[in-house]
A and B are shown apart, each in its own frame.
Chain A
């Protein structure tokens, strides 16, 4: 990556790859922070370009969540608004953004699995690339994807009738909740992808996301669930994230759900951190 083409190749010949003696700039240590930033930037671009060529990822990140929101609103909007006392959009828009953020992470994980099987990860390991750059760039690409998904879902929500009443900073915070939640989930899915070999990953992630979705306060109000189920519904991570976002758009309690969301996200990330790093190292050195 920091190989520089030498100018004085043979006269009259185009400096093709073979003609050029690669010159490696060793002034920076492979572990330097500057190289980490530069390499992460390049690799993030690489992943984003790769995703943009993949129909499945584009479908999953940009088309599916707004359509999901529109159909949820069409089918359940009126009924849920009637029992909750305010527009159902304040729950269903956060819901669609969060589900989109979480569900899209499987695309990144499948990309990782392919690149592992192709040997790209091992290749990065033996090249003078900062060791943390690849994993960091995957997380950075997830952030970009989640921001795009959330923005599209928010635009759909605004078109359907969602309104932000808490000012501009609240909108920024509203957008950052799916990012925090989605990145934590990406930690989890990446870790699983490093240990599971087959396509069970996509299906089991689908089941978990469906359960989180159907049993959260973003789908129907808490009182609609049977009383024995209510504590589970109330304290699961997706409900807290939805409540934080509801508070940031409609008004209401924000602090406690936000802290709980951060707690859940940080918890998932911390739990997965060590297995993820070990699994990654093992995969690269296979």
Chain B
């Protein structure tokens, strides 16, 4: 009796990552998810700009387009984080992650692939949001390095939110519920932030919360990085950018810790 031996395959993690990334990205082109994401940015820009322009121009300095742009960019990456969460919940509920764990795949590769997919989603969302912003009259006033900083900060926020979304998707294992779990904080945080209205318009007892919650701090930082025609916006010093970066680091840290906990428990 002859013994058949096959050389044990030595898969390269890089190639695995690439294959799994394509697996995340390719369906977004086919199923119309990309089209939905792009139209969502446009819908959101139109919805925030057209009805509210007349009312809010009276209470903000400078152009309303300039004022509302950070909000539009943040909403765009928030929605991409939400669709990333949907994807991760679908993967979890179909137990493909379980299958990946049983295969000779490096432990972090599926997560890395999903996160690459999320970076791609956030980048698309950011590009669409900036394009929509240019249509309503938003401009970058500060020069190339600050424009780059603006895009980088939005992307980093998008990655942090995607990590949280991915985690919620894995834990909840329920694609539809995931979207709604994420919709509630988005509604509350988005409205009760300085993104649409200046903080003075809120009742006094709520103002500290409105000023200091992370959404508002991101908006302050992005506004400073984008600048303004009338020079009424603060220069992006560390005291403006710092709180946003601190929030970002905090969210990342907590998310990574929780992630490690969930992965350890699943094993």
Contacts and interface: CB of A to CB of B under 8 A. Distances in A.
Interface of A: 55-56, 59-60, 64, 67-68, 71-72, 74-76, 78-80, 83, 110, 198-200, 202-204, 207, 210-211, 214-215, 219-220, 223-226, 229
Contacts of A220: 51-52, 54-55
B257 interface: no
Contact of A79 (B31, B43, B201, B203): B201
A225 to B, nearest CB: 6
21 contacts: A55-B177, A56-B176, A56-B180, A64-B184, A74-B206, A75-B191, A79-B201, A80-B55, A83-B54, A203-B36, A203-B40, A204-B36, A211-B43, A214-B46, A215-B47, A220-B51, A220-B52, A220-B55, A224-B51, A224-B52, A225-B51
Nearest to A106: B176
Interface in B1-50: 31-33, 36, 39-40, 43-44, 46-48, 50
B43 A200 contact: no
A56 B86 CA distance: 14
A210 B55 CA distance: 19
B130 interface: no
Given A64-B184, A71-B191, A207-B40, A79 B59 contact: yes
Nearest to B202: A74
Contact of A75 (B36, B50, B192): B192
Interface of B: 31-33, 36, 39-40, 43-44, 46-48, 50-56, 59, 83, 86, 90, 174-177, 179-180, 183-184, 187-188, 191-192, 196-197, 201-203, 206
A226 B50 contact: yes
Nearest to B54: A224
A59 B40 contact: no
B192 A74 contact: yes
A99 B188 CA distance: 16
A88 B102 CA distance: 58
B39 A207 contact: yes
Contacts of B197: 75, 79
A224 B54 CA distance: 6
A75 B196 contact: yes
B213 to A, nearest CB: 13
* 5 nearest CB pairs, A to B: A214-B47, A56-B177, A224-B54, A71-B191, A220-B51
Contact of A198 (B31, B180, B183): B31
B180 A59 contact: yes
A202 B59 contact: no
B175 A199 contact: yes
B47 A67 contact: no
A67 B186 CA distance: 12
A167 B36 CA distance: 45
Contacts of A226: 50
Contact of B50 (A55, A74, A229): A229
Given A60-B180, A78-B201, A202-B176, A211 B188 contact: no
B179 A200 contact: no
Given A71-B191, A72-B191, A207-B36, A199 B176 contact: yes
B124 to A, nearest CB: 15
A59 B188 CA distance: 14
A87 to B, nearest CB: 15
Contacts of A211: 43, 47
A59 B192 contact: no
Given A76-B55, A204-B36, 11 more contacts: A74-B192, A75-B196, A75-B197, A110-B176, A199-B86, A200-B32, A200-B36, A203-B40, A224-B51, A224-B53, A224-B54
A60 B183 CA distance: 10
A71 B197 CA distance: 13
Nearest to A79: B55
Contacts of A229: 50
B15 to A, nearest CB: 29
Contacts of A224: 51-55
B106 to A, nearest CB: 30
